[in-house]
Structure 1
Amino acid sequence: MTAPAAGAPARPGTKALLALILAVLSYSLVQTMLVPTLGILQTELDTSAAGASWAVLSSTLLASAVLTPLISRLGDSHGKRRVLLVTLALHLLGNIGAAAAWNVGSLIAFRAVQGVSLALLPLSLGLIREVLPPHRVAFGLGLTSGLVGGAAGLGLLVGGLIVDHASWRWLFVAGGALVLLALAAVVRYVPESRPSAPARLDLAGALLLGLALVCVLLGLTEGPTWGWSSSRVIGLFVGGVLFSAVFLRWERRAPHPLIDPALLLGRPIAGAHIGAFLLGATQFVFYVLVPKLAELPTGLPPEAARLVDYGFGASVTAAGLILIPGTLLGLPASSAVGRVEGRLGPRAPLALGLALSAVGGAVMALFHAREWQAVVAYGVIGTGFGFAMAALPKLIHDATPPHAIATANGINTVARTVGGAVGSQLAAAVLASRTISGTSLPDDSGFTLAFWIATAIAASGALYALMTVNRLTTGGGNGQEFIRTKKEVADQVMGE
C-alpha cells in the first residue's frame, strides 16, 4: 500500500465538503436575508404588497419548484459538478441583475432566475457521496443539510443588519459575493463527477411536472388574495391533481423518464418525501410567526400599537437574534444523525427531530410572553430541525442508487418547499382569522393557535416516521430497495 503523500489532509474530502457547503449557503442565506425588505421594496419600488411579495418570495418559489427536478436530473445524467457550476453561474447572474433592478418587474424577473439556486442543495448532497469516503458521508450529509435550516435565523439577522444600515441592493451584492466565493471553491476543490451515461431529456415530463407544481404553488400563493373558495384557486388545485396524474402515467411509459415513479412512490423514499413535506410546513410556521411576534407592535401606527398588548417590540435585527440559539443548537444535532441512526435505527433521527420540534412548539404555544421564553422554545425547535433536516438526505442516500441520487434529493427538496408554502399560508390564514375586535390586527390567540397547529403537524410527522420509515437493507446506499420497489410502483401507477 502506498503511504499518503506528505502534507495530505488528515480527512480526505474536507476542502471539497467546505466548497459544497458554501454552495448550499449561497442559496439558503439569500432566501431569508430578503424577508426584512418586504416593506422597504413596496415603498422604494412604488409597488403593492403583493408585488413586493412576488419579488421577495413567490417568483423564486415557483421557479425553484419547477426547475429543481429538471436540474437535478441533468446533474445525474450529465455530471453533478458540471451542472452545479452552471447553476452557480446563473445564480450569480440573478444576484447581479437583482442588485441593479430598475423596477419591481425587473426584480421579479431576476428573482425568478435565482430560482435555480434551490437545485444547489440536491446537487451538493449528491456530490458529497462522491467526494467523501464512505465513513464520512453521513457526517457530510448531516452537516450540509443542517446548515440549510440553520441559515434561516442567520439570514434574518444579516438581512436586518444590512437593511438597517444600507440599501436593500447590498443584500444582493453580499449574496453575489458569497456565490462567487462558492463558485471559485467548487472549481478549485470539487473533483469531476463520476462518469455518467447521458440520457435524452424528458421535456414532456418536465412540462407536466412544472404545470402541476405551478398550479399547486400559485394556488397557495394567491389563495389569500383571490379567496380560497374562488373558482380560480379551486381550478388551480384541480389542475395540479390532474397534471400530477398525467405526469405519473407518462413517466411510467417514457423511455428516459425525468423522474422514475419509484423515486416518488417507492418505499422508504415516499416516507422521506412525506417527512420533508411535514417538516417544511412546521418550519415555515415558525419562520413566519416568531419574527413577527418579536417585532410587534413595532411599525404600527400609535393608535394601533396601543391595542397590541403582546410582542417584544424588537427590530428586525433583534428578531433574528431570537432564532440564533436554535440555529446554533441545530448544527451539532445535524452532525450527530449518523450516531443516532447507528444506535436507534434509520427511522430514529427523523422521528426524534420532529418530536423535539413538537415539544418546542408546545412550549412556544404555552409560553411566549417574554423574549427568553421564545429563545428557549425555539432552541428546542431548532435542535429538532437539525436532526430532521439531516435525517432526510441520509434516508435518500440509503435507499437510492448512485445514478439517481441528485434526482431523489431534488424531489425531497421540492417536497419540503411545497410544505413550506403550505406552512406559511397556514400561519397567515390563522392570524387573519383571529384578530383584535374591530381591527385587522392579529390577536395573541392567533399566534397561540398557529403554534399548536405546527406542534400537531410535527407530532404527526414523528408518529408517521416511526410507523412507516422501514429499516433499510444492510450496507445502504446500493439502491436495492429502489430496485425492489420499481415493479410495485409500476403496478400501482398502471392500476394493475
Structure 2
Amino acid sequence: MSRPEPVTSPPRALIVVLAFAGITVSLQQTFVIPLLPRLPALLHATPDTASWAVTATLVAGAVSIPIVGRLADMWGKRRVLLFCLTFLAAGSAVVALSTSLGWFVTGRAVQGTAAGVVSLGISILRDHLPPHRLASAASVMSTSLGVGASLGIPLSALLAQHTGWRVLFWTAGGLAVVAGALVLLVVPRTERPAGGRFDPLGALLLSGALVCLFLAVSRGGAQGWPGGLVLGSFAGAAALLVLFGAWELRTPQPLVDLRVSRRPQVLLTNTASLVFGFAMLTNALVFTQLVQMPVAAGYGFGESMLVAGLLQAPGGMCMVAMSPVSARLTVHFGPKTPLVVGALVLAGSYGFAALLHTELWQLLLCTVLVGSGIGLAYGAMPSLIMSAVPAGQTAAANGLNNLCRSLGTSAAGAVTGLLLAATTTTVSGHVVPDPTAITTVLVIGAAAALLASVIAAFLPRSRPAATADLPSALRHEPSTA
C-alpha cells in the first residue's frame, strides 16, 4: 500500500487547491456551448460535424477516467493529477490556435483527458486528511464538478460576447497552468505508490466499449436512433463490455476490480449516480433554450445567451452553499441520507417547473432548488464509495463513479435533444420546441430523480462518515483476495 507524506500545508489550503483544479476542469466542459451556433461559420464546417466539439470531449473523458484512476493508484495520485492538468493546458492551447475543425476537435479531445481530476482530488483528500474532516472536504471536491459546469456557461458567454472566441481557451489553459502550479506547491506527493501492473487489455476493451457507447448516445439524436451506425455502436459496446467483464474477473490485477464494484453499496451508489446524472442536466438543457426562445412563441423570453447562462449561476452558488450541509448530514446520519434527500429535492424542483415555467422567477427558483439538490447528493457520493472500497483502490473506484455520472449526463443530452427536436413549431421563421416537448422533458427529469432516490433508499445502512473512513473500518470488509 502507498504511504502518503504528512500534510505540510494547512488542510484548508489542500481542499481549496484541489477544488480549484476540479472547477477548472469542469469549466472546459461547458466553455464551448455558447460557441456551438457560431462554430460552423468560424471553422467552415456543417452544424452536424461541429457538434464533435462536444462529443470528442465526452468520449475522451469517458475513456480516460478509469485509466487515470488505475494509474493514480499505481504511480501516485499527485503525479497523475499534474499530468491531467498538463494535458488540459496543452489541449486548450491547441484549440485556441486551431484554424480548422480537425484541430479544434483534437484539442477538445486532449482537454477531455483531464476529466478524472475530481475523482483524483477526492482520493488525495482521503490519503491526507483526518477522518473527521474527510466528509466535508470530499463534499466540496465533488460539488466542484457541478459548480464549474454551472459557472462555465455565463463566463464563456460573457467572454465570447466581449472578446474573441480564442480568449475562452487561452483562459482555460491559463487556469490549468495556475492549478498545476498550486498543486506542486500544496499537494504532498506519495512516498511509495502501490505499484502493480497496468491492465492494457482491460483498458483497450473498456475504451472500445465506452467509445461505441458514447458515439451511439451522442449521435443518436442527430442521425436517428434506428440508424445503422447507432445500432451497430450499441451492439459493439455490449459485446466489448461482456468481454471486458470476463477478462477483469480473470486477471489478477484488473483495471476495475469488479468484485469490489459489485458490492451492494458500490453498485447501488454507481447506479444511483448514473440515473442522477441523467436528471441533473435537464435544467440546463431546457432552460437555456426556453430563455432564448422568441417571445412570440407565447412561452419564450427572447433573452440572450448571456442571460440564459447567468440564470444557471445561482444554481452553482447553491451547490457550494449546500456542500457543508451535505457533509453535516453525512457525519450525523450517514451518506445515504443526503443522497436520498438531494434526489427528492431535484425531483420536486422539476415537478414544480413542469407545472410552472412561464415566468423568469419560476425558472430561477427551479434552478436554485436543482443546485441545492445536486449539492446535497454530490457531496454524499464520494463518502459512500470510499467507505466501501480499500484505500488502495480509492482513485479507481471514484473514477468509476464519476464515469457513471458522465454516462448519465450524456444520455440526458441525447434524449433531451431528441425529444425537443421531435415536436417543434415555427414562430417568426424560427423552429422552436413545442411546449408539450418541454413539459415532457421536465417530467422525465423528475421521474429520473425520483428513481435515483428509490435506488439510494436501498443502500445498506452505513456508519456516519466521521468513523466510516477510518482505516480500521477496512478490517470489517470482506476479503478481496
Taking structure 2 as the reference length, the TM-score comes to 0.93
1:48-447 aligned within 5 A: 48-55=46-53, 57-297=54-294, 306=296, 308-436=297-425, 440-447=431-438
* Conserved? CA contact 2:261–2:267, under 8 Å: yes
Note the aligned Cα RMSD (angstroms): 1.9
**Partner amino acid, structure 2, of 1:435:** T
Q: Which amino acid aligns with 2:389?
A: T
137-146 vs 187-196, which moves further: 187-196
CA offsets 1:50-85 (integer angstroms, 9 cap, x no match): 222111x10010011011100110001110001111
Pairwise CA distance, 1:328: 1.3
CA distance in 2, matches of 1:441, 1:136: 48
Q: 1:339 to 1:246 in 2, by over 3 A?
A: same
Paired residues for 1:454-493 under 5 Å: 454-471=445-462, 475-477=467-469, 478=471, 480=474, 483-484=477-478, 486=480
Q: Which residue of 1 aligns with 2:5?
A: none
**Match of 2:40?**
42
- Secondary structure at the counterpart of residue 407 of structure 1: helix
Give unmatched runs, 5+ long, in structure 1.
Answer: 1-7, 298-304, 488-496
Displacement after TM superposition at 1:397 (Å): 1.5
Name the CA shift for 1:35/1:252 in 2 (closer, same or farther; >3 Å).
same
The answer to whether the 8 A contact 2:143-2:320 is kept is yes
Q: Distance in 2 between matches of 1:171 and 1:253?
A: 46
Contact 2:248 2:256 in 1 (8 A): yes
The percent identity for this pair of structures is 31
Could you tell me how far 1:361 is from its partner in structure 2?
Answer: 0.6
Residues 452 and 69 from structure 1, CA distance in 2 versus in 1: closer, same or farther, beyond 3 angstroms? same
Deviation at 1:225, TM superposition (A): 2.8
- Shift of residue 440, structure 1, vs aligned partner: 4.8
| CA displacement 1:217-249 (0-9 Å, x = unmatched) | 110111123321123212211221111111111
Which secondary structure does the structure 2 equivalent of 1:413 belong to? Answer: helix
> Are 1:285 and 1:426, in contact at CA under 8 Å, matched by a contact in 2?
no
Deviating more after overlay: 74-83 vs 31-40: 31-40
Displacement after TM superposition at 1:25 (Å): 1.2
Whether contact under 8 Å (2:135, 2:330) holds in the other structure is no
* Conserved 8 A contact 2:28-2:111: no
SS of the aligned residue for 1:268 comes to helix
> Hey, what's the Cα distance between the residues in 2 that align with 1:31 and 1:137?
27
Are the equivalent residues in 2 in contact too, given 1:364–1:378 (CA < 8 A)?
A: no
Shift of 1:433: 2.5
Answer whether contact 1:22 1:181 (CA < 8 A) is retained. Answer: no
Q: 1:485 to 1:467 in 2, by over 3 A?
A: farther
Cα deviation per residue 1:144-180 (whole Å; 9 max; x = unaligned)?
1112112222111101101111111110011111101
Kept in 2: contact 1:75–1:406 (CA 8 A): yes
TM-score by length of 1: 0.91
1:197 is displaced (CA, Å) by 2.2
Give the letter for the 1:411 counterpart.
L
**Equivalent pairs, count:** 469
For residues 52 and 108 of structure 2, the distance between their equivalents in structure 1, rounded to whole angstroms, comes to: 9
Secondary structure of 1:325's match?
A: helix
CA distance in 1, matches of 2:378, 2:335: 14
Residue deviations 1:90-148 (CA, integer Å, cap 9, x gap): 11111111110110000101111111110111111111112322211111111111121
Q: CA shift at 1:473, angstroms?
A: 9.0
